[in-house]
Amino acid sequence: MTTSRDFDGCVVRIAQDRDREAFVLLFDHYAPRVKALLVRTGSNPVAAEELAQETLLAVWRKAHLFDPGRASAAAWIFTIARNLRIDSIRRSDRAVYAEDQAPPGDDPPQPDAILAGVQDGQRVRAAMASLNPDQAQAIEMAFFHEQTHTQISEALGVPLGTIKARIRFGMMKLRAFIEREAGERS
């Protein structure tokens, strides 16, 4: 039976010696688990398979960044998978957004659509103003400037876990603010 420490050792061996046997062991164990997680979180099976393979390829390439003192191999690998899925969703959202844009020469937007957009913008600004400055800054960097949590952490000189907490709690506050406002308008 292979233990968590054994898998940690596999990643270390990959980092130090480019050990192919260790990689095969990791791949055989984690690829199906990563795929299953991705399918459970909404990816279609084909995309999940591709992301699982991309995840394990990232493990091969980034093994030197693994620190068994900070996380287990499983946590590290599933975090890579999660981040790749987020990146994939962002890429596909941008592609859909670009496809939805009206080509030049189409009818201009109607006044009620313009007004709705302005009102939505005002709601977002009001909701963002309800956050503490650290949360607002982290959310702005993540969603408006499309920076990863790691990039934000490095830019602000704040631990990665702190950035994730700021974003998570900030998003919870934003949701509560918007739901409260929607209830007041009803």
Q: What's the whole-number mean pLDDT along residues 34-39? A: 89
Q: What's the whole-number mean pLDDT along residues 85-104? A: 67
Could you list the beta-strand ranges (E) of the chain: none
Q: Calculate the average pLDDT of the chain.
A: 83
**Alpha helices (H) in 63-145, listed in sequence order:** 73-100, 111-129, 133-139
pLDDT the model gives residue 146: 82
- Site of tokens 């690829």: 31
Angle CA 76–81–85, to nearest 5: 145
Q: Give residue 24's pLDDT band: very low, low, confident or very high (50, 70, 90).
A: very high
**Alpha helices (H) in the chain, listed in sequence order:** 4-17, 20-40, 45-62, 73-100, 111-129, 133-139, 149-156, 160-185
**Residue 155, CA distances (Å) to 75, 138, 140, 141, 158 in order:** 24, 10, 13, 10, 8
Residue type for position 177: F
Is residue 94 scored above 60 in pLDDT?
yes
pLDDT the model gives residue 183: 75
pLDDT the model gives residue 28: 92
Global pTM? 0.51
- Most confidently modeled range among 21-35, 83-97, 142-156, 164-178: 21-35
For residues 13 and 7, the answer to whether their CB atoms sit within 8 Å is: no
Q: What's the whole-number mean pLDDT along residues 71-99? A: 80
Lowest mean pLDDT among 58-67, 78-87, 97-106, 148-157: 97-106
Q: What's the whole-number mean pLDDT along residues 20-25? A: 93
The string of pLDDT tens digits covering residues 128-170 is: 888 898 998 888 888 777 888 999 999 889 999 999 999 899 8
pLDDT the model gives residue 3: 75
Is residue 52 scored above 90 in pLDDT?
yes
Domains recognised in the chain with CATH numbers: 4-97 (1.10.1740.10), 110-185 (1.10.10.10)
Lowest mean pLDDT among 51-55, 76-80, 88-92: 88-92
Q: What's the whole-number mean pLDDT along residues 82-86? A: 89
